[in-house]
Amino acid sequence: MIARALWLSVVGFALAPGSAAAQMPDWLSRAGVEVRGGVSIGNHSESSAKLDFAPEPSFDLVLKREIVPTLSVFGGYYRTTFGCEEGFCTGREITIVGNHGALGAQWVPDLPQLAMGPWLRTGLLVGATRAGTEGDSPDIGFGVEFGGGLLADFGRMSFLPGVSYRYLMANTPSSSAYAVALSAHLGIAIELGGG
């Protein structure tokens, strides 16, 4: 409930008339919020299985800040989920869930001749990845993300369909493991400042 109220406040403030947005601090005038939602598939090293095609919903919420016109840095929260049906998961209906903080950079080349331009993103993830609800609690671990897609700009709002690859440590006190996720998602970005 709090997250929903916070999100609605940010959207309302971002879409406020230019006079209100113009009163924002300068550092915020080049910042934006992006929400991405989609589906992920993946595999968990302990399952001894290949990539499982068992999609589950995933979402991200990030705050971005433009450094130069083609490069932004971001930080936020990623929730990556996918099903596991093979290997140790056979007959158990296990869902792999990763909850991570993310820090990274996004590059959008300046190609004004294109209606939709490409974007590339990379980031470092820190958090926990859990396989199912049984067994040891997951350890905090690192991960990486690489992603790309297209950007369609509509003034202060942008749409960013894309795909991403995530490598996530999934260790527990009794085992060393990792998970790999492939995600397809649609992002909606809103500039916080501007006129």
pLDDT tens-place values along the chain, 195 residues long? 444 544 444 445 444 544 444 455 555 568 999 999 999 999 887 766 677 889 999 999 999 999 998 999 999 999 999 998 877 777 877 899 999 999 999 999 988 888 789 999 999 999 999 886 666 788 999 999 999 999 998 989 999 999 999 999 988 888 888 999 999 999 999 998 754
Residue 11 belongs to domain spanning: 2-191
Tell me the C-alpha distance between 79 and 89, whole Å. Answer: 21
3-class SS string, the chain: CHHHHHHHHHHHHHCCCHHHHCCCCHHHHHEEEEEEEEEEEEEEHHHCCCCEEEEEEEEEEEEEEEEECCEEEEEEEEEEEEEECCHHHCCCCEEEEEEEEEEEEEECCCCCCCCCEEEEEEEEEEEEEEECCCCCCCCCEEEEEEEEEEEEEECCEEEEEEEEEEEEECCECCECCEEEEEEEEEEEEEECCCC
pLDDT of residue 45: 79
Phi, psi angle pair for 7, to nearest 5°: -60, -45
Lookup result for tokens 């099903």? 83
At 48 the pLDDT is: 61
**CATH code, 56:** 2.40.160.20
Phi, psi of 15 (to 5 degrees): -95, 10
Q: 65 is written with which tokens? A: 């800040």
Identify the pLDDT of residue 57.
96
Find all residues with CB under 8 Å of 43, minimum gap 6, and list them: 49, 50, 51, 52, 84, 179, 180
- Report d(CA 95, CA 54) in Å as an integer: 9
Domain count within the chain: 1
Report the C-alpha dihedral over residues 166, 167, 173, 174, rounded to 10 degrees: 120
